[in-house]
């Protein structure tokens, strides 16, 4: 899978812009605050239907404009496609695939596959399990819509259950009501756990390979899914029942896939606690490169790799290894200066425009 062209209209600091991309390495160069990250944001918008940084979506609309548009041209093994996203200050955004508006964002998933990495992604290793769950969820959803629906359903049930917990019902009544929620929750929990377990199991060898490569075999990366251990719905229900008083006291459900995690180790030591910043960063990158491999395996074509500002964060050895890796997959990489002796399509960005 490849992108051939991106058009932006009133998107952040881009007024009107058209950029052609080549296969292999595309280097997006420019000084600070010129629009490099904005560009990757726009491309990644077409992968997941949302921004990796805007909390309020309308903030992507140029400050002097009423609407904004992203138009991305994708070349695939079979057929090409165009993804368009139109933002308006007044209405909800519209997403079109080949000119046809979609009804649900889930219809977009899988249309265009990409993997995004920025220094921020360090939180994938460093921060709370939530970030690692999001990583699993976005990944599995990209190639599996059933999972996306399942997750939505789980969250809905969880919300309802939590609401009940806060309603100050008599305990006996609550026990009855909880039976329904627990059963539904258990069904979804078991399925989600299986998907995630399987995902981490598949991811591990790829992540290990990427990490060995980036570190020149100096470090061995290990991944382990940490989640619910029960093997049947009945056992999960029992666990939920056992936790009722605890949940009542807390006012929320304390057990389930919404607490899952991935344990990451280097040479068998927990990276989150003991890894250096550099190790954690390389780990996060390895996970992302592995994500790329997994998606590739599932859809039989390579997704596009989007790397924001990663070069400044790596030592020369790791930098060169990463760049060598990027030759084999269409990559968009941003940086402030680029003087490496590799073949690439170099684009200069200045103030929301590509310098000709």
Residues near ligand ADP (CB under 6 A) are 12-13, 30, 32-38, 59, 61-63
Phi and psi at residue 124, in whole multiples of 5°? -55, -35
Least separation, in Å, of the C-beta of 99 and ligand ADP? Answer: 26
Scanning residues 36 to 65, which ones bind Mg ion (CB under 5 A)? 36-37
Residue 160's CB is within 10 A of a number of other CB atoms, namely 15
Q: Which CB sits closer to Mg ion, 40 or 271?
A: 40
CA distances to 212, 214, 297, 298 from 281, in Å? 14, 11, 25, 26
Select the residue whose beta carbon is closest to Mg ion and give its number: 37
Least separation, in Å, of the C-beta of 336 and Mg ion? Answer: 9
Q: Which CB sits closer to Mg ion, 36 or 296?
A: 36
Closest CA to 336 of 12, 32, 13, 24: 32
CA distances to 17, 245, 262, 327, 330 from 224, in Å? 44, 30, 6, 30, 29
Q: Which does 341 bind (CB under 5 to 8 A by kind): ligand ADP, Mg ion, none?
A: none
Give the number of residues in contact with Mg ion, rule: CB under 5 A: 2
Q: Which CB sits closer to ligand ADP, 235 or 353?
A: 353
Strand order in the sheet with 304-308: 114-117, 304-308, 331-335, 25-29, 345-350, 353-354
Which H/E stretch holds residue 192? helix 171-214
Q: Which does 118 bind (CB under 5 to 8 A by kind): Mg ion, ligand ADP, none?
A: none
CB 58 within 8 A of CB 321: no
Q: Which CB sits closer to ligand ADP, 8 or 295?
A: 8
Q: Which does 211 bind (CB under 5 to 8 A by kind): ligand ADP, Mg ion, none?
A: none
Least separation, in Å, of the C-beta of 309 and Mg ion? Answer: 6
CA distances to 47, 65, 73, 107, 144 from 103, in Å? 16, 25, 21, 7, 18
Q: What is the DSSP letter of 90?
A: S
Q: Which CB sits closer to Mg ion, 37 or 280?
A: 37
Least separation, in Å, of the C-beta of 29 and ligand ADP? Answer: 10
Least separation, in Å, of the C-beta of 192 and Mg ion? Answer: 34
Q: Which does 62 bind (CB under 5 to 8 A by kind): Mg ion, ligand ADP, none?
A: ligand ADP
Q: Which CB sits closer to Mg ion, 83 or 349?
A: 349
Least separation, in Å, of the C-beta of 12 and ligand ADP? Answer: 4
Q: Which CB sits closer to Mg ion, 32 or 168?
A: 32
Scanning residues 9 to 38, which ones bind Mg ion (CB under 5 A)? 36-37
Q: Which CB sits closer to ligand ADP, 38 or 189?
A: 38
Give the residues across from 269 on adjacent strands: 266
Category of 74 on φ-ψ map: left (φ > 0), alpha (ψ -120 to 50) or beta: beta
Q: Which does 32 bind (CB under 5 to 8 A by kind): Mg ion, ligand ADP, none?
A: ligand ADP
Residues 103 and 182: their CA atoms lie apart, in Å, by: 31
Residues 15 and 20: their CA atoms lie apart, in Å, by: 17
Least separation, in Å, of the C-beta of 195 and ligand ADP? Answer: 34
Least separation, in Å, of the C-beta of 271 and ligand ADP? Answer: 28
Question: E strands of 174-298, at which residues?
Answer: 221-226, 261-266, 269-270
Q: Which CB sits closer to Mg ion, 83 or 306?
A: 306
Q: Which does 56 bind (CB under 5 to 8 A by kind): Mg ion, ligand ADP, none?
A: none
Q: Which does 143 bind (CB under 5 to 8 A by kind): ligand ADP, Mg ion, none?
A: none
Parallel, antiparallel, or unpaired for β 345-350 and 269-270?
Answer: unpaired
Least separation, in Å, of the C-beta of 308 and Mg ion? Answer: 6
List residues binding Mg ion (CB under 5 A). 36-37
């Amino acid at each position: 899978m490849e992108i051939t062209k991106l058009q932006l209209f009133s998107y952040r600091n881009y007024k009107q812009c058209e950029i052609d991309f080549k296969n292999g390495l595309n280097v997006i160069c420019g000084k600070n605050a010129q629009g490099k990250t904005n560009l990757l944001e726009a491309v990644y918008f077409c992968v997941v239907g949302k921004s990796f940084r805007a909390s309020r979506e309308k903030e992507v609309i140029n400050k002097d404009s009423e609407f904004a548009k992203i138009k991305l041209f994708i070349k695939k093994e079979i057929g090409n496609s165009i993804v368009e996203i139109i933002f308006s200050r007044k209405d909800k955004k519209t997403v079109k695939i080949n000119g046809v508006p979609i009804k649900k964002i889930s219809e977009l998933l899988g249309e265009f596959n990409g993997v995004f990495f920025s220094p921020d992604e360090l939180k994938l290793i460093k921060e709370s399990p939530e970030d690692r769950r999001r990583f699993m969820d976005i990944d599995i959803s990209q190639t599996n819509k059933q999972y996306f629906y399942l997750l939505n359903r789980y969250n809905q049930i969880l919300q309802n259950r939590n609401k009940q917990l806060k309603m100050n019902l008599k305990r006996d009544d609550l026990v009855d009501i909880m039976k329904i929620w627990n059963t539904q929750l258990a069904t979804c929990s078991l399925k989600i756990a299986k998907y995630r377990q399987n995902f981490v199991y598949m991811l591990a060898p790829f992540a290990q390979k990427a990490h060995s490569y980036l570190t020149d075999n100096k470090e061995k990366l290990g991944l382990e899914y940490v989640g619910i251990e029960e093997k049947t719905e009945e056992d999960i229900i029992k666990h939920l029942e056992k936790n009722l008083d605890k949940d009542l006291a807390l006012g929320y459900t304390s057990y389930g896939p919404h607490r899952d995690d991935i344990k990451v180790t280097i040479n068998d030591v927990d990276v989150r606690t003991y890894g250096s910043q550099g190790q954690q960063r390389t780990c996060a990158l390895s996970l992302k490169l592995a994500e790329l491999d997994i998606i590739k395996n599932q859809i039989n074509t390579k997704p596009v790799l989007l790397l924001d500002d990663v070069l400044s964060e790596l030592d020369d050895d790791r930098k060169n290894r990463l760049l060598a890796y990027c030759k084999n997959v269409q990559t968009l990489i941003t940086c402030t200066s680029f003087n490496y002796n590799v073949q690439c399509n170099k684009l200069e960005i200045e103030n929301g425009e590509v310098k000709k």
